Amino acid sequence: MHLDKETRLIIKRALQEDIGHEDITTLFTIPYHFKTEAVIIAKEKGILCGMDIAKAVFKERGKKVFFKAFVEDGEPFRSNQRIASIKGDARVVLSAERVALNFLSLFSGIATTTKEFVNRCRGTKAEILDTRKTTPNLRVLEKYAVRIGGGLNHRKSLGEAILIKDNHLRAGKFMRNNRLDAVKMAKCISYVRTLPSVKVEIEVETLEDFKAIIKYKPDIVMLDNFDIKSMRKAVRFRDRNFTQVKLEASGGVKLENVRRIAKSGVDFISIGSLTHSPEAIDFSLEVVSSKNKG
């Protein structure tokens, strides 16, 4: 993974948050001339993500730390497997430990969860998407973890694509007596089409609204909280009349039902839980030796 300026700033801020003015426990218990060797061990199985970030955390604290990865991003690991070793100044290793493990835990959790959803959809055309339900200031890294798990990124910011949701329709007065104002919608889509390289997606909550919206040929129609039966009807209607329009299923997607959703024929399945509530993977750092550098 290429660590850009934004990622390095995230690492600096994370270390500052965790260490404060100084790691006083390590300072008072470890002599400055001690060198140590430690290993990072996975406490459960999963898909690895964040190895380069973990390495950069240790390097940020001490340039002479030697970090060796045994598993790379995107590779599976098993419980109790050693995934990396670190050698260098004992104070550096111990003060950087928690931040490095936190990044590995979060990003590996996202990658592992994403991979599970992707595997459930194998053999269908549906692709797994993330959402903007990310941790503030960590979006670029969490979306990287989704890609490592085999998923795709939805828009990275509000400026990347147009996604018209129910609140936009209500706030913009596109609804009249709880029905879509077709004239206003047509004008809106026509204007957006004049903008270069901007995709348009519109969210709908009923089959009636879906049939009203799709005739304006947005790039994507999001089927929000549709049941499987309604989803299949929407797919059949699209396939008969508007083959160029993509369909995205969203809302209430779980491992237990994602394959049924994928088999309905939708093109994308967006899942907020990939990033807003992933199950973190547990890692530990264990010192295996320590000695006087002199």
- Catalytic residue list: 98, 133, 165, 203, 224
How far is 239 from 59, CA to CA, in rounded Å? 53
270: tokens are: 């967006």
Q: Hey, what's the torsion of the CAs at 274, 147, 45, 253, to 10 degrees? A: 30
H or E element in which residue 204 lies = strand 200-204
From the list 96, 104, 105, the residue with the least C-alpha distance to 18 is: 96
* 179-180 and 175-176 strand pairing: antiparallel
- Residue 216, C-beta contacts closer than 8 angstroms, at least 6 positions apart: 185, 186, 189, 202
Residue 175: in which H helix or E strand, if any?
A: strand 175-176
Question: 262 to each of 23, 201, 212, 258, how far by Cα in Å?
Answer: 49, 19, 24, 6
Q: What phi, psi does 152 have (nearest 5°)?
A: -115, 155
User: What token pair was written down for 87?
Assistant: 């050698």
